[in-house]
Chains A and B, each alone.
Chain A
Amino acid sequence: MPKTMFEKIWDAHVVTQEEGAPAVLYIDAHLIHEVTSPQAFTVLRERGLKVRRPDRTFATMDHAIPTRDLDISQWPPDAAKQVETLRRNCAEFGIPLYDIKGEQQGIVHVIGPELGITQPGMTIVCGDSHTSTHGAFGALAFGIGTSEVSHVLATQCLLQRKPRTYAINVEGRLGPGVTAKDIILAIIRQIGVGGGVGHVIEYRGPVIRSLSMEARMTICNMSIEAGARAGMIAPDETTFAYLKGRPFAPKGADWDRAVSRWRQLVTDEGAVFDKETTINVDGLAPMVTYGTNPGMAITVEERIPRPKDAATPDERRMLERALEYMGLKPGQPIEGQPIDYVFIGSCTNSRLEDLRMAASVVKGRKVAPGVTALVVPGSKQIKRQAEEEGLDRIFIEAGFQWRNPGCSMCLAMNEDKVPAGKYCASTSNRNFEGRQGKGARTLLMSPLMAAAAAVSGRVVDVREML
C-alpha cells in the first residue's frame, strides 16, 4: 500500500495500541520552555517519577523573558520565577538547558532546527502550538498541553489518535517581493482558520520545493493557524544541506546512512490523502491581515471586506466585531493604513533570512516619525550572525531597537507590548484580540512588508520599494 510521509512516520513510532484506545506514540525529541513546563514537573515530583529520557529532552527560555539587557534581579518577579523554576527543574532532572546565560538560547522553534535537534522522520513535541514549525524538515511535530508534557517527561510517549491527512499543493510562480509568509496567509485565507482541524497538512508542489528551509519553516509554523495538528514538508537536498554539520546532526558514516533513510520518507506515488487543496500563487501580491484571526487576510492591493457582503450571518457578525476591534472601515483599502509599531521577530519570521530581507528594505532609510520599531532575532546565534553581517547597524541606524532573542511582542508576556488602540505591523503569527497587548491592533505581514511599513509609517506595497 502506498503511504504518505505522515503515515510512514506515524507507523514507525507506534509503540503499542490496544483495541479502542489511542496509540502509544514514541517521541524522539521533546522541547520544553519556562511557561508550559512548571506544572508538569510538579506532577513528576508528586508521583515520584524521573524524566525517562533527559537525553531526548531539550529546554530553553523564550516566552516570558525580557529582551532588553537586564540583570535577572531587575526582571519582573514572575518572569524571573519561571526562569529560576526551569533552571531548578533542569538541574534536578538532568535536562540540558539552553540558558539565557549561554550562547545558544533562543525561541524554542528556532533553536531546535539550528542545533540540528530537529531531523527528518522524527516525532517532536513541545508545550507550544507552533511546534508545527519543525515539520518543515519532514518531521511529525506538534504542540501539546502541559499534562502531555508530563506524560512525555515520564514515559517519552504520548497517547494519540491518528489524525487525518491533508495535501496542500502550491503551484505557480512566486513574484519578487512575495514570500513564504504571503503563501501561508493566502492558504489560511482560502481554507479558513478551521480548515485543517483534525488533520496533518503536507505542503507539496514546485513552489514548496523551491523554498529555503527558513521559508519552509515559516509555512509549517502557521499550520496551526489553519487549525491543523501539524504541517510537514518532505525532506530533500535543501533539508540535508541545512542540517549537515549542525551540532546534533549525525556525522560521518552515520550521516550518509541517515540521509539515505530520510530519502525514503517522501509520500509514495499513489498514496491517498483524506483531503486535498491546490493553491496557485501566480500573481499573488503581498498579504496583510485586517482582522482578528489569521484567516482575515487580503493582498495589499485589496480593500477590506464589507460585512454586508458576508456569506452567512455568523461571518457578518464576526467581521463586524473584528473591524470594530481593529478600528478599520469596511471597503477601506489596506494600503495606506497608518501604523504605530513594527515588530520583526517571532518563531515565524526571526531567522537570518528574514532579518536579511527586512534589512534590504531598511538600508539607507529611516523609521518613520512616531513609529516604534523592534527587531528581535530568534536566537543568540542569529543575533551574532546578523551582527557579523552588519545587519544590526542597518537597523539601529534606521531607528530600530535591536533586542535580545525571545518571543517578545509576539505574545506580550513581557514588557514588549503594543498599547491599546495602536496598530502594529508584525511578522508574528497571531492577530488575535489582545495578543500583542490589551487592545493592541495587529496587522500580520512578511518581514519585507513590515520593514516597508516601518520606514513609511503606513502599510505600503513593498514591491514598489525593491
Chain B
Amino acid sequence: MDGNEGRVTDMGGVMEPFTVHTGTAVPLRAENVDTDQIIPARYLTTVTRQGLGEGLFADWRRNPDGSLREDFPLNQPRYQGATILIAGSNFGSGSSREHAPWAILDAGFRAVISSNFADIFYNNSLKNGLLPVVLEREQVEHLMDMVEEVPTLQITIDLEKQEVVLPDGQRFHFDIDEYRKRCLLQGLDDLGYLLSKEEAIAAYEQAHGL
C-alpha cells in the first residue's frame, strides 16, 4: 500500500476503509504534542480540507528563515514515504481543529501510534479514516527504538485482528471500540448512521416538546 491512500477523501464522500495497512514509520519523540504544533492556526484560514499537509508541523519542520530543519524526523530522508506516525503520549491535545487529522492524512499517513490520545483528536481521526492505535508506553518506546535503528522496517497494522505486527513476528494487541472498528473496516461514516435514526430523533423531539 502506498501513502496516497491516505489522501483526504472528497468531503461528502465515503471515508477510505481501513483494513490492513503495511508501511514504514517515523518516530516523533515528543509528549503532549498539541494540535497547534500539528497544524498552526495560520493554516486554518481555509474553507476546504485539501492541501493541509503543507502546514503539518510547520513550525517544527522549518527554521525561522524557512529552511528545513535537518534534526526534525519528518524531514529526514531515511523516513521519507512513512505512512505511520509514532508519537509520545497525550498526542493531539488542545484545540478541536479537525485540520489536524486532515493535515496528517494529507501528508500521506494512515495511522498514528501513541500510548494515549487526546479525546477530540482521537474522535476526529476515526471520522476521517486515520487510525489512532493505542499501545502500552513500553511498546511505543520499543517501536520507536526499532524504527530509529531500521527505518525501512515494515510495520503492519491489522485492524480486523487489532494487532500491530512486526516482520520478526512480534505482535502488539490494541483496543478499539467495536462500532468504530466496523465503521473503519467498511468505510462507513457516522452521518449515514445518524440519518438512519431520523424516526427516533423526531420522536425524541416530540416527546420533549423541542
Contacts and interface: CB of A to CB of B under 8 A. Distances in A.
Interface of A: 15-16, 20-22, 24, 26, 28, 35-36, 38-39, 42-43, 45-47, 49, 52, 63-64, 76, 78-79, 81-82, 85, 127-129, 143-148, 150-151, 154-159, 161, 163, 193-194, 197-198, 224, 227, 229, 293, 314, 317-318, 321, 411-413, 420, 430, 432-435, 438-439
A317 B30 CA distance: 9
B98 interface: yes
A144 B98 CA distance: 9
B1 interface: no
Contacts of A151: 190-191, 194
Contact of B128 (A24, A42, A147, A420): A147
Given A159-B194, A314-B88, A146 B12 contact: no
B194 A193 contact: no
B36 A432 contact: yes
A440 to B, nearest CB: 10
Q: Which of A63, A158, A194 has the most CB of B within 10 A?
A: A194
Contact of A148 (B29, B95, B127, B201): B127
Given A43-B12, A293-B32, A439-B64, A154 B191 contact: yes
Contacts of A224: 94
Contacts of A317: 29, 31
Interface of B: 10-13, 29-32, 34, 36-37, 40-42, 44-49, 59, 64, 88-90, 93-98, 116, 118-120, 123-124, 127-128, 177-179, 189-191, 193-195, 197-198, 200-201, 204-205, 208, 210
Contacts of B95: 128-129, 411, 430
A412 B42 CA distance: 7
B200 A227 contact: no
Given A15-B197, A151-B191, A159-B190, A438 B40 contact: yes
Contact of B31 (A198, A318, A420, A430): A318
A28 B13 CA distance: 28
- What 4 A-B pairs have minimum CB-CB distances, sorted nearest first? A46-B12, A78-B45, A38-B47, A145-B98
B194 A144 contact: no
B201 A15 contact: yes
B46 to A, nearest CB: 7
A321 B40 CA distance: 19
Contacts of A45: 12
Contact of B11 (A15, A43, A82, A194): A43
A266 to B, nearest CB: 21
A37 B178 CA distance: 29
B194 A47 contact: no
Nearest to B200: A16
Contacts of B194: 24, 151, 154-155, 157-159
B197 A16 contact: yes
A67 to B, nearest CB: 15
B123 A148 contact: yes
24 contacts: A20-B179, A24-B194, A26-B205, A39-B47, A42-B12, A42-B48, A47-B191, A52-B201, A127-B96, A147-B191, A155-B197, A156-B205, A157-B201, A194-B118, A227-B93, A227-B118, A227-B119, A293-B32, A314-B88, A321-B30, A412-B41, A432-B36, A432-B37, A433-B37
